[in-house]
């Protein structure tokens, strides 16, 4: 990652490196980067001081009648093109400014993460949060989606999927037998290496990568980073994965549930808080070596499972992954080493400096800025209210939850089974987000409205299962 002191520093770098274009990234409401690019010679003091005008209504943030906003490049977050060095392009991630005041737009995603950290500091809880990430995805040769008056369908093709139409079983992987598979069955080992090299050039540390359970499914795990940096980098990492896949004629998808019967894609988020450089989640005498602060934080996250899911699992497809029987957890409980629990405390972590928990329900269709900020605010709510997760019945559950008798399982609080339920919960339960103005209320309303539109659009489309099941009644 490149950090520049001022405009002159940027121009010197461009001259030295032969940079021809400067591109500016800003995330939209869904969590996709949008981009505007200028010739390098046009980069000036005015670019930084006055910003670049945009139509924010197309990003989901503003109404058409008040859509003019500014984006301002963050000179501390620049990078050369990590996918195509020959492109001679320098990138900056930008903040969104109010055109009238030139101050941070209150719905600016990066600003919301900063405000969430500020709330933790104001309460004396912590001065930093660190995030570690497991990013799961499928690599496809082809993806077709058809919606016409005669056909509604989708089809995927991958060299790893078993039982191909032509019958050629050339080093393919049968359903859910892919975990840690190696070459030649792992057909995209070199592709992942290329992706990880691009991440390294950005300063995003990779812990490891491997084949996941599904055919053509993979995981890249990142080292811990401060939450603001990780929000930027999560969004950027997905963007880079898509670009490198496209370069090789492949498709990478993070969609939570792609193939019936195969494992879904999650985005497990490991997290802990720091105060004056010390991990405040560790306590030698605590349950699972967790401090009271950590347990209260867990209690806060688990006490808002449905409204939090509206942000961490914000698509209709998210809830096709959150079904019993797979590793995607559907119960709001915690335990050590239990992958059927929403919150898992890794049993292999012995270092007090890395005492943490893993939130397993979230998926990568979330907007990382909003999702990370929401988790911090849910945790802060638990700390403020001193929520004891044990007394509240959130655990610990040491056994596989799906092995519990049905009557006991029904007593365990669940995550929502649909986006509709999650959005209704968020409408009723969002004060923990708007505390100290971290999430503006109008942003919550816009989020709910946008996702309800997605839901309404999807509900208009008959499902192939329905046709097969009911056509002859």
Q: In degrees, to the nearest 5, what angle opens at C-alpha 375 toward C-alphas 396 and 31?
A: 135
Active-site residue (options: 136, 283, 336, 381): 136
Catalytic residue among 210, 292, 320, 339: 339
Query: Among all chains, which residue has been given the structure tokens 């195969």?
Result: 262
Q: Which of 74, 95, 134, 381 is catalytic?
A: 134
Cα distances from 294 to residues 228, 309, 325, 348, 387, in angstroms, run 20, 20, 29, 18, 10
Residue 358 known to be catalytic: yes
Task: Please confirm, yes or no, whether 136 is among the known catalytic residues.
Answer: yes
Residue in 278, 295, 298 with CA at minimum distance from that of residue 287: 295
Structure token digits, residue 295 = 């347990």
Are 383 and 280 in contact by the 8 Å Cβ rule? The answer is: no
Residue 40 CA, chain-centre distance (Å), reads 32
Q: b/e string for 266-303 if b means 16 or more Cβ within 10 A?
A: bbbbbbbbbeeeebbbbbeeebbbbbebbbbbbbbbbb
Q: Is the peptide bond before 396 cis (omega within 30 degrees of 0)?
A: yes
Active site residue 292: no
Q: 3-state DSSP call for residue 52?
A: strand
Q: How far lies 209's CA from each of 134, 192, 198, 219, 301, in Å?
A: 9, 7, 14, 6, 28
> What Å distances lie between residue 207 and 88, 220, 223, 284, 361, CA to CA?
29, 8, 5, 26, 21
The three-class DSSP label of residue 37 is strand
Q: Indicate which residue of 45, 55, 442, 445 is catalytic.
A: 55
Our answer to whether residue 354 is catalytic in this structure is no
β partners of residue 306: none
Question: Do strands 334-336 and 343-345 pair parallel, antiparallel, or not at all (unpaired)?
Answer: parallel
Among 81, 95, 212, 363, which one carries the catalytic annotation?
212
Question: Which of these is catalytic: 360, 363, 381, 430?
Answer: 360
Kindly name the residue from 268, 282, 321, 344 that is annotated as catalytic: 268
For the CA atoms of 148, 154, 156, 162, what is the dihedral angle to 10 degrees? -130
- Is residue 192 part of the annotated active site? The answer reads no
User: How crowded is residue 81: how many other Cβ atoms within 10 Å of its Cβ?
Assistant: 19
Active site residue 398: no
212 counts as catalytic: yes
Is 80 in the active site? no
Q: Which residues contact 55 (CB under 8 A, 6 or more apart)?
A: 67, 68, 69
Closest among 345, 346, 341, 318 to 330, alpha carbons compared? 341
Catalytic position from the list 81, 160, 219, 283: 219
Does residue 262 carry a catalytic annotation?
A: no
Q: Give the bridge partners for 98, in sequence order.
A: 69
Exactly one of 95, 358, 363, 381 is catalytic; name it.
Answer: 358
Show which residues are catalytic.
Answer: 55, 134, 136, 212, 219, 268, 339, 358, 360
């Amino acid at each position: 990652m490149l950090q520049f002191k001022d405009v002159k520093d940027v121009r010197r770098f461009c001259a030295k490196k032969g940079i021809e274009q400067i591109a500016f990234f800003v995330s939209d409401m869904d969590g996709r980067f949008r981009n505007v690019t200028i010739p390098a010679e046009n980069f000036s003091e005015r670019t930084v001081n006055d910003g670049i005008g945009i139509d924010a209504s197309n990003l989901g943030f503003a109404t058409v009648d008040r859509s003019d906003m500014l984006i301002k490049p963050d000179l501390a977050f620049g990078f050369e093109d990590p996918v195509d060095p020959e492109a001679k392009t320098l990138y900056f991630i930008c903040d969104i400014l109010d055109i009238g005041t030139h101050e941070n737009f209150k719905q600016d995603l990066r600003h919301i993460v900063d405000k969430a950290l500020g709330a933790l500091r104001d309460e004396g809880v912590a001065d930093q949060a660190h995030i570690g990430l497991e990013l799961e995805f499928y690599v496809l040769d082809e993806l077709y989606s058809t919606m016409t008056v005669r056909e509604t369908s989708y089809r995927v093709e991958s060299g790893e999927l078993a039982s191909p139409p032509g019958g050629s079983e050339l080093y393919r992987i049968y359903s859910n037998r892919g975990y840690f598979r190696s070459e030649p069955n792992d057909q995209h080992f070199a592709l992942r290496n290329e992706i990880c090299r691009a991440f390294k050039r950005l300063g995003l540390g990779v812990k490891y990568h491997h084949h996941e359970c599904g055919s053509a499914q993979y995981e890249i795990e990142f080292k811990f980073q401060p939450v603001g940096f990780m929000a930027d980098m999560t969004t950027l990492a997905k963007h880079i994965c898509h670009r490198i896949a496209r370069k090789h004629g492949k498709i990478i998808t993070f969609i939570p549930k792609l193939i019936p019967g195969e494992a879904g894609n999650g985005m497990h988020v490991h997290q802990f808080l720091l105060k004056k450089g010390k991990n405040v989640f560790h306590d030698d005498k605590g349950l699972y070596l967790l401090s009271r602060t950590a347990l209260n934080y867990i209690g806060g996250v688990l006490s808002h499972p449905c409204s939090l899911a509206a942000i961490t699992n914000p698509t209709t497809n998210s809830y096709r992954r959150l079904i019993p029987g797979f590793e995607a957890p559907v119960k709001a409980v915690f335990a050590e080493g239990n992958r059927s629990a929403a919150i898992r405390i890794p049993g292999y972590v012995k270092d007090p400096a890395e005492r943490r928990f893993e939130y397993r329900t979230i998926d990568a269709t979330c907007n990382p800025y909003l999702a990370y900020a929401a988790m911090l605010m849910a945790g802060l709510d638990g700390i403020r209210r001193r929520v004891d997760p044990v007394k509240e019945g959130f655990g610990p559950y040491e056994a596989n939850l799906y092995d519990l008798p049905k009557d006991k399982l029904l007593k365990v609080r669940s995550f929502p089974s649909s986006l509709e339920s999650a959005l209704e919960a968020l409408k009723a339960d969002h004060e923990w987000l708007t505390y100290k103005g971290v999430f503006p209320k109008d942003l919550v309303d816009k989020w709910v409205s946008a996702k309800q539109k997605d839901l309404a659009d999807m509900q208009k489309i008959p499902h192939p299962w329905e046709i097969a099941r009911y056509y002859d009644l």
